[in-house]
Amino acid sequence: MNASLKIAVALLISLEISFTKSISLNIALIVCAIIYLLFKQVNWKLMLYSIFLPILPAFGSWSSLYFYGTGDHVHMAFVLFTRIFAYIWIGSCFTFTTNIDELLKSLEQNFRLPNTFVYGVLAAFNFLPRIAQEVKTIRLAARMRGEVLHFYSPQIFFKAILTSFNWSNNLAQAMRSHGFAEGERRTHYHVIKIPTWNWLAAAAILIAVQAFLFMSPFN
Amino acid sequence: MQATKKSSGWHLRDVIMLTLIAIFFGFIFWIWAFAYDAVAATPLKPFANDITLGAWIMAGPLAGYLLRKAGASFLGEFLAAFAEMIIGSQWGVSTLLSGLIQGIGGELGFALTGYKKWNGLSLVLSTLTSTIVTFGYDLYASGYASYSFGMLIVLFVIRFLSIGFFGGVLVAAITKLIDKAGILNR
């Protein structure tokens, strides 16, 4: 499915389950997401990651409501427990099968996002591994001077901002010198079109969720 | 550097800078999630969300202050959430939703000043609107509606303190360092 449509559907469904209180819908969504990911033959290590990652936050939410809530708090505790797993697995359907390249290109070509944003964001996201390295470097450099930087130290953020400032200047200059012009029309080597069945599938998924919500005998 | 300071439009350099900062925050958020887990593993569990929340809303006010444009705060927060999700957040796609809500919350504070003031007042307003908007969302999304009224008051105060510290005091400290370094030459 087209990347923009996929993330839109994922966002709409997760927004909906933020407000509904149906355990069965959450479970059904998790099952569908797992089937989809199996069908897409996603790496099993990533799948395991999605199973274990939400356990702590899910258990945290469950126990908070179970022990401290009032009213129908037992039901809500289980709603939240399944909701967090649903969030993770719906998210995985997007993050494990699509990359940011596809998403931004589709947003540019299909939804007319200005190219300054498309290529600016893309350029920055290509620095993701270097940013991970930079955070380590900042902390190590401070430790060499005998300072330990925590997440609440203004210095670590200050250094990060300085780096962003330098890199953004260099990157913007480099892009311009390679012929990037803001706001100009571009031609595309890789043309992205959204096939009709994508729209139909997106609508079908959203309708199925509503139908399940109203017709399911379980809550 | 181009003479883009006064312009309200978005230039390539602004977009790249905003995204780079957002990704830095994405990483810091991602690590911070383990702090949430650490608090969640103690009897302070129901308060874990509100004690740690402040750190997550930092990207918004900081981006707003740095770029001084309408929408900068919202975009900074939203892109940071997106980066966190891509890195692999334990909250999955809801990270993006929270980013959206937190972005709106932070942006409102700056919008209330008509994007004319970029000082302590707008930061305080931003922390206040962030607290109210995110709390309203959590009433539904995190099941807060099931807590007693007294508990809700306690949670609200804790959240405001957390957001006040991270989004207010810490952001002010960072911006002071930036102003002293004079890199934004305004």
Residues A44-65: tens digit of each pLDDT = 888 888 888 788 778 878 888 8
A17 neighbors A76 (Cβ within 8 angstroms): no
Under the banding of pLDDT at 50, 70 and 90, the label for residue B1 is very low
Which two three-digit tokens encode residue A128?
């993701």
Chain A residues within an 8 Å CB radius of B57? none
Q: Give the closest residue to B167 by CA, choosing from B120, B113, B98, B99.
A: B120
Shortest CB distance from B24 goes to which of A71, A135, A152? A135
Mean pLDDT across the stretch A4-32?
Answer: 91
Decide if pLDDT at B3 tops 60: no
Which two three-digit tokens encode residue B138?
């959590």
Shortest CB distance from B147 goes to which of A56, A70, A171? A70
For residue A167, give the chain B residue with the closest CA. B17
Q: Any idea where the domains of chain B sit in the sequence?
A: 26-181
User: What distance in Å separates residue B148's CA from the closest CA in chain A?
Assistant: 6
Shortest CB distance from A95 goes to which of B21, B85, B148? B85
A91 neighbors A34 (Cβ within 8 angstroms): no
Write down the pLDDT at residue A219: 67
Q: Report how far residue A210's alpha carbon sits from residue A16's, in angstroms, rounded to the nearest whole number.
A: 9
A18 neighbors B144 (Cβ within 8 angstroms): no
User: What distance in Å separates residue B12's CA from the closest CA in chain A?
Assistant: 5
Write down the pLDDT at residue A8: 93
Q: Contact B36/A57, CB-based, under 8 Å? A: yes
- According to DSSP, residue B42 is labeled S
Q: How many interchain CB pairs under 8 A, A with B?
A: 207
Q: Contact B141/A19, CB-based, under 8 Å? A: yes
B141 neighbors A19 (Cβ within 8 angstroms): yes
ipTM: 0.84
Q: Contact B79/A121, CB-based, under 8 Å? A: yes
Write down the pLDDT at residue B48: 78
For residue A57, give the chain B residue with the closest CA. B37
Residue A44 exposed, middle or buried by CB count within 10 Å (0-12, 13-18, 19+):
exposed
What is the percent of chain B where pLDDT is above 90? 17
User: What distance in Å separates residue A195's CA from the closest CA in chain B?
Assistant: 25
Q: Report how far residue B52's alpha carbon sits from residue B158's, in angstroms, rounded to the nearest whole number.
A: 9
Shortest CB distance from A151 goes to which of B31, B88, B97? B31
B87 vs A109: which has the higher pLDDT: A109
For residue B140, give the chain A residue with the closest CA. A19
For residue A161, give the chain B residue with the closest CA. B21
Q: Contact B146/A10, CB-based, under 8 Å? A: no
CA-CA-CA-CA dihedral for A69, A75, A81, A86, to nearest 10? -140
Mean pLDDT across the stretch B76-85?
Answer: 88
Q: Contact A157/B183, CB-based, under 8 Å? A: no
Under the banding of pLDDT at 50, 70 and 90, the label for residue B160 is very high
Under the banding of pLDDT at 50, 70 and 90, the label for residue B8 is low
For residue A18, give the chain B residue with the closest CA. B141
Mean pLDDT across the stretch B74-88?
Answer: 86
Chain B residues within an 8 Å CB radius of A127? 20, 23
Write down the pLDDT at residue B7: 46
